């Protein structure tokens, strides 16, 4: 988009240079005929040279955009320069605005996914802290064999097993478990607020992008309509000034706008 915009601006600048050059040539001929002053010719030359100085700036901007696209596509900076010059300088049209943005589009953003995983981890740590309030039970199971020979190693008579149950409960910890729970709850609340803020920022970015697309499309339509309906500026006539006024006081010269 920026490359095509710069190319279009370069075309406009080149057409402007051609018009100013034609104006300068016309005033030069009028000066030779005694119908224009030297100041008018000098002003026309300055405007032409000033417009001419803008062309290298646009060409440099086009080259930088072309180099960046060449690197992003896995090539070298100068690979796509000639191709962009051959293709028509047509600005891409703004896409149609979607009726709604799917929630999956927002969830796939890296910042939203990262905030979602952080709040999930904080919630899991909070649940672990709450689990410390309850007793812990273990039921170990042992299975083995006691055979006197290799032949009876896998027989049912030589199989031995044992099962037991153990439990543990902290009776007094001076409030350490509850303190860990409060700390985990505070961390979870912080992560939840950060997640909400991240989601709001994501929605804001989407709304800004949609608004930018809509306003740019409207602006482009208005500029296109203005370009088609704008009449040519009328040619103004100015009385002869300077040293030519004494030679032909009733004459008029044509000033190219």
Sorted by where each begins, the domain ranges of the chain are 2-92, 135-168
Query: What tokens appear for 130 in the block?
Result: 């709450």
Q: How far from 20 is each of 23, 90, 115, CA to CA, in Å?
A: 5, 25, 58
pLDDT-derived band at 20, boundaries 50, 70, 90: very high
Q: Burial code of 196-229, b = ≥16 C-beta within 10 A, e = fewer?
A: eebbeebeeeeeeeeeeeeeeeeeeeeeeeeeee
Query: 118 or 76: whose pLDDT is higher?
Result: 118
> pTM of the predicted model, to two decimals?
0.46
What average pLDDT is seen over the chain? 78
Average confidence (pLDDT) over 212-221: 81
Binned at pLDDT 50, 70 and 90, residue 18 comes out as very high
Which H or E element spans position 178? helix 176-229
- CB 91 within 8 Å of CB 8: yes
What's the rounded Cα separation, in Å, for the pair 27 and 10? Answer: 26
- Distance, CA of 122 to CA of 144 (rounded, Å): 42
> Using CA of residue 88, residue 91, residue 96, residue 102, what is the dihedral sign?
positive
- The Cα 22–Cα 41 span in angstroms is 12
Per residue in 102-142, pLDDT tens?
666 777 788 989 999 999 999 999 999 998 888 888 888 88
Q: Would the pLDDT of 151 be above 80?
A: no
Is 190 a residue whose pLDDT tops 80?
yes
As a whole number, mean pLDDT of residues 180-189 equals: 93
pLDDT at 249 over 50: no
How large is the average pLDDT for residues 166-180?
Answer: 84
254, pLDDT greater than 60: no
């Amino acid at each position: 988009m920026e490359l095509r915009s710069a190319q279009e601006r370069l075309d406009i600048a080149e057409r402007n240079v051609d018009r100013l050059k034609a104006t300068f040539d016309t005033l030069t001929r009028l000066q030779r005929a005694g119908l224009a002053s030297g100041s008018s010719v000098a002003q026309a030359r300055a405007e032409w040279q000033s417009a001419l100085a803008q062309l290298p700036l646009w060409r440099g901007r086009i080259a930088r955009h072309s180099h960046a696209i060449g690197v992003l596509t896995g090539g070298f900076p100068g690979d796509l320069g000639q191709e962009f010059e051959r293709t028509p300088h047509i600005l891409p049209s703004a896409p149609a605005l979607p009726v709604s943005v799917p929630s999956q589009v927002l969830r796939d953003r890296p910042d939203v996914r990262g905030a979602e995983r952080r709040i999930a981890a904080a919630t899991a740590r909070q649940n672990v802290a709450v689990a410390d309030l309850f007793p812990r039970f273990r039921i170990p199971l042992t299975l083995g064999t006691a055979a006197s020979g290799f032949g009876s190693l896998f027989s049912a008579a030589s199989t031995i097993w044992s099962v037991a149950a153990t439990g543990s409960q902290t009776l007094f910890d001076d409030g350490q478990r509850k303190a860990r729970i409060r700390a985990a709850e505070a961390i979870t609340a912080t992560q939840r607020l950060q997640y909400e803020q991240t989601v709001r920022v994501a929605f804001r970015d989407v709304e800004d992008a949609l608004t930018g697309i809509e306003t740019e499309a409207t602006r482009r339509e208005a500029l296109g309509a203005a370009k088609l309906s704008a009449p040519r500026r009328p040619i103004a006539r100015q009385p002869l000034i300077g040293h030519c006024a004494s030679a032909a006081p009733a004459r008029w010269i044509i000033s190219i706008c």
